């Protein structure tokens, strides 16, 4: 009998499979399809201080082995997430969830994280620092070690729950950014967020997406994600949630060997709503195939 349990900052997950933020709504939408309590946890839809309608359409472009999206953090805002979305999820899911928080200034990050901190359903706060800093010319917080440090420090001042910083891969040295987050008190790291991509329509000769560029995700980015998880594992002493193109139980094990303690599944959910369920069911068989008795024992096993 294999053991699929893993731990994240004191939280024990029945398995390491977590639907990634933005690909699974607020979770309850999938409860009609299967018992979502089989999931290790759920990273809820990215939440901001104020409601956001998101970017203009079209927002999605298909690619070989992936897709580009520019949804623009569409969400009802932190107050409605707390009063409506999380209570709806609680009717179907009895485990701690991961609250994914975004912001456009350090003050917004701190405000929204402080509000979600007291919610009993939330086990971990995942801070997405891939957002544009409105006070710094629109450059993403996650592309600069100083900005990443500042956001992490501000959030840690107002929260008591574990804080995981979600890193952008669109940087020269992701290990440097991870070290800055660790120095500021982060409890863990999530990576990678989407790469930047673009498609052009041959008939119109214009970008497919209204926003021109968007986040590239799917199986094509998996090798990049594995490489970055490996690098960050060597750079910091924090637990890592790995993601980026995960599509199978074999991908999960590879990501964990690189250094991930848990694994998020993103674009695969948009292709097949049963993706996470299938991976969870497949995982014990693949563990047996490779002689793995406990997933906790293989974390960072390739180093």
Q: For the segment 256-269, what is each residue's pLDDT rounded down to a tens digit? A: 999 999 999 999 99
Catalytic residue among 44, 63, 113, 131: 131
Q: Is the pLDDT of residue 138 over 70?
A: no
pLDDT value, residue 159? 98
Angle CA 245–251–255, to nearest 5: 90
Q: Is the pLDDT of residue 22 over 90?
A: yes
Distance CA 82, CA 61 (A): 32
Domain spans, the chain: 6-298
pLDDT value, residue 130? 85
What count of other Cβ atoms lies within 10 Å of the Cβ of residue 234? 13
- Reference 127, options 17, 213, 48, 242; nearest CA is 48
pLDDT tens, position by position, 154-184:
999 999 999 999 999 999 999 999 999 999 9
Per DSSP, what are the bridge partners of residue 124? Answer: 98
Distance CA 299, CA 238 (A): 12
Distance CA 268, CA 38 (A): 17
Q: Is the pLDDT of residue 63 over 70?
A: yes
Q: What is the mean pLDDT of the chain?
A: 96
pLDDT value, residue 131? 73
Give me the half-sphere count of Cα atoms (radius 13 Å) on the Cβ side of residue 179: 7
- The two structure tokens encoding residue 117: 């901190």
Band (65; pLDDT cuts 50, 70, 90) = very high
End-to-end CA distance of the chain: 26
Strands 97-101 and 206-207, bridge-based pairing? unpaired
Band (132; pLDDT cuts 50, 70, 90) = low
Band (94; pLDDT cuts 50, 70, 90) = very high
Residue 131 is among the residues annotated as catalytic for this protein: yes
pLDDT value, residue 140? 85
Give me the half-sphere count of Cα atoms (radius 13 Å) on the Cβ side of residue 174: 25
Q: Is the pLDDT of residue 48 over 70?
A: yes
pLDDT tens, position by position, 203-229:
999 999 999 999 999 999 999 999 999
Cis check: omega of the bond before 243, within 30 degrees of 0? no
Mean pLDDT of 12-24: 97
Q: Is the pLDDT of residue 13 over 90?
A: yes
Q: Cα 122 vs. chain centroid, distance in angstroms?
A: 15
Decide: 5 and 12 in contact? Cβ < 8 Å: yes
Band (52; pLDDT cuts 50, 70, 90) = very high
Q: 6-298 architecture in CATH?
A: Alpha-Beta Barrel (3.20)
Q: Is the pLDDT of residue 141 over 80?
A: yes
Angle CA 83–274–265, to nearest 5: 70
- The two structure tokens encoding residue 167: 């890193």
Q: Is the pLDDT of residue 137 over 90?
A: no
pLDDT value, residue 276? 98
Mean pLDDT of 73-87: 97
pLDDT value, residue 136? 66
Q: What is the pTM of this model?
A: 0.97
pLDDT value, residue 133? 64
Per DSSP, what are the bridge partners of residue 97? Answer: 122
pLDDT value, residue 163? 98
pLDDT value, residue 139? 67
Distance CA 75, CA 95 (A): 22
> Of residues 178 and 130, which shows the higher confidence score?
178
Strands 240-243 and 122-128, bridge-based pairing? unpaired
Q: DSSP for 176-205?
A: HHHHHHHHTT-SEEEE--PEEE--EETTTT
Band (295; pLDDT cuts 50, 70, 90) = very high
Mean pLDDT of 22-29: 96
Cis check: omega of the bond before 58, within 30 degrees of 0? yes
């Amino acid at each position: 009998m294999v053991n699929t349990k893993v731990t994240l900052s004191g939280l024990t997950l029945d398995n390491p499979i977590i639907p990634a933020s933005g690909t699974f709504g607020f979770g309850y939408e999938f409860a009609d399809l299967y018992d979502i309590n089989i999931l290790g946890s759920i990273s809820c839809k990215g939440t901001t201080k104020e409601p956001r309608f998101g970017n203009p359409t079209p927002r999605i472009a298909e690619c070989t082995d992936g897709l580009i999206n520019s949804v623009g953090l569409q969400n009802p805002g932190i107050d409605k997430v707390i009063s409506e979305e999380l209570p709806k999820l609680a009717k179907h899911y009895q485990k701690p969830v991961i609250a994914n928080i975004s912001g456009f200034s350090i003050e917004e990050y701190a405000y929204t994280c402080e509000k979600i901190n007291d919610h009993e359903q939330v086990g971990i706060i995942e801070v997405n620092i891939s957002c544009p800093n409105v006070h710094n010319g629109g450059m993403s917080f996650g592309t600069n070690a100083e900005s990443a440090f500042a956001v992490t420090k501000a959030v840690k001042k107002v929260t008591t729950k574990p804080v995981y910083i979600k890193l952008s891969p669109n940087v020269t040295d992701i290990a440097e950014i991870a070290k800055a987050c660790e120095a500021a008190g982060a409890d863990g790291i999530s990576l990678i967020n989407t790469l930047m991509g673009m498609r052009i329509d041959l008939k119109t000769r214009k970008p497919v997406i209204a926003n021109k560029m968007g986040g590239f995700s799917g199986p094509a980015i998996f090798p990049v994600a594995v490489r970055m998880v490996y690098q960050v594992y060597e750079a910091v002493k924090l637990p890592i949630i790995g993601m980026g193109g995960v599509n199978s139980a074999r991908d999960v094990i590879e990501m964990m060997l690189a250094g991930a303690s848990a694994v998020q599944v993103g674009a695969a959910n948009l292709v097949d709503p049963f993706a996470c369920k299938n991976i969870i069911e497949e995982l014990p068989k693949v563990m047996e195939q490779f002689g793995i008795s406990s997933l906790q024992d293989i974390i960072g096993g390739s180093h």
